Amino acid sequence: MRRLAAVFVALAMMLAGHMPARAQSTAPPPNFIPPPSTRPIPPLGIYALGSIGCAAGAPILGTVILGRALTMSEAYHSTFGCLLGPPGWLIADWLMSLPGAEPPQPPQPPQPPRRVTSANHVTLPPRGALFVRNEILLEVDAGADARLTALARRLNLTRLETQDFTLTGRSLQRWRINGNRSVVATLNAIGNAGVAAAAQANYFYGLPQQAAAATNSGTQYVVPKLHLTEAHRITTGTDVIVAVIDSKIDAKHSDLAGVIAGENDVVGTAAPAHMHGTAMAGAIAAHSKLIGVAPKVRLLAVRAFSGTSEGAQGTTFNILKGLDWAASRDARIVNMSFAGPTDPMLRDMIARAHAHGMVLIAAVGNAGPRSPPLYPAAYPEVIGVTATDADDKLLPVANRGAYVAVAAPGVDILADAPEEKYQITTGTSVATAHVTGVVALMLAREPTLTPDQVRRRLIASARPVPGARRDAGAGVIDALRAIEAR
């Protein structure tokens, strides 16, 4: 705009040079009244005054008409067009080509996950998310069955199963995509057809735990670290129902004898007991060779993950089924030692479970300090847990962020393994199980606590550790302090 002002000054000086100068005269005598001027304004003056008025008013008029501020290019073109006509547009183009003519643009905010909506809610997977490459999940609009059948035929889709969920009151369908059409293309087609109340990918979730080493000996530093001996003199978590949504748990392990109150295999395929699920259950409720945090709880073993010890995965649909089943069995606490992408259908289920009075606890993940938030730990209804070692130092590969609520021992943990074996394991998964056990002790002593009250007391009773709050949350949990907190 400084260039524009300079041009106006130059034009004014040019016009001043063409106007007739006043003659020099001596001072008029007192009481002299000059006659009214009758000199006509020359054509050049009329042109100059009209051009300047047009140049001054055009940007204002353009702003009013467009309902927004003009860009620099639009202001230049309107101004110089008024002053010089078509040649003025050429001058405007030349001015816009100079360096720094356009002001710098402010940084744009991060874009939300790609979403396609018509009269429904169809969510495309965020970049980098892992999902089943030939499946989608649908909630069908009322009265849209006929249209969905026709669309499924055209898109070459096969319905695999339908599940009614009590917690959300929703009926979801899992469909297989036959052929080469991608999940994104299929979801876009469904969104354009307007047949689904909700549609998304069937996401993968992983178990954030480092490969375990087999062992037959070792010590449990968790016991003195969490003051379990003192806490167990007050409560052992008797009869608190805890759901563990994980891989297959070895219910026959001597450390878990008598604590498994129910099992539900939502995967539905035969598989042996798994290292991860067995370790999580033992960290919570072991009561033979090892000492669990809450050895008298009643565990609901939900198998929603399958695969090898290093590569076990669970899907959105199976986790939803497991969570809904746990709610139907009156689970007070849900241990979710897994992590994955943001997921609208799971997010809805999490919110309903929290409102139902269930305390939800999840691992923040082992993807490293630069990782974006992982879920379900990053949902506000969930207590996100990170891992520390025997010296209260943070696990280096643990995720960071404001969603980290507390830390718990999760490095070199002696844990149960299938077939009466034991293992040394590390990760935010087993740290999560330790927090679940502490919450069970709290609820056994005070069953009326709400999920939000549990969170507040857990945070208030944690021992602060060096480092940023986003690294270890409020600090390392302490079972004795937590059950005595008020």
Q: How far is CA 236 from CA 80, 227, 277, 292, 385, in A?
A: 84, 13, 21, 9, 22
Alpha-carbon distance 434 to 452, whole Å?
A: 19
Q: Within 13 Å and on the Cβ side, how many CA atoms surround 80?
A: 23
Alpha-carbon distance 273 to 265, whole Å?
A: 12
What b/e sequence results for 407-426 when a residue is b if at least 16 CB atoms lie within 10 Å of its CB, and e otherwise? Answer: bbbbbebbbbbbeeebbbbb
Instruction: Copy the structure tokens of residue 45.
Output: 């003056």
Pick from 277, 309, 124: nearest CA to 211: 309
Q: What are phi and psi of 6, to 5 degrees?
A: -65, -40
Instruction: Copy the structure tokens of residue 179.
Output: 């052929």
Residue 338, SS3 per DSSP: coil
Spatial neighbors of 408 by CB under 8 A, at least 6 apart, are: 226, 385, 386, 387, 388, 431, 432, 434, 435, 438, 476, 477
Spatial neighbors of 474 by CB under 8 A, at least 6 apart, are: 405, 406, 458, 459, 460, 462, 464
How many C-beta neighbours within 10 Å does residue 97 have?
8
The verdict on whether omega for the bond into residue 376 sits within 30 degrees of 0, i.e. cis, is yes
Catalytic residue among 429, 434, 471, 478: 429
Catalytic residue among 232, 246, 337, 434: 246
Spatial neighbors of 354 by CB under 8 A, at least 6 apart, are: 360, 381, 382, 451
Active site residue 276: yes
Q: How far is CA 241 from CA 187, 312, 322, 343, 376, in A?
A: 38, 25, 14, 26, 20
Q: How far is CA 200 from CA 31, 175, 312, 353, in A?
A: 92, 11, 22, 21
Strand partners for 264: 302
Report whether 11 contacts 83 (CB < 8 A).
yes
Catalytic residue among 276, 287, 354, 434: 276
Q: What is the DSSP string of 7-25?
A: HHHHHHHHHHHHSPPPPP-
| Distance from the Cα of residue 118 to its chain's centroid | 23
Alpha-carbon distance 479 to 481, whole Å?
A: 6
Give the catalytic positions in this structure.
246, 276, 429
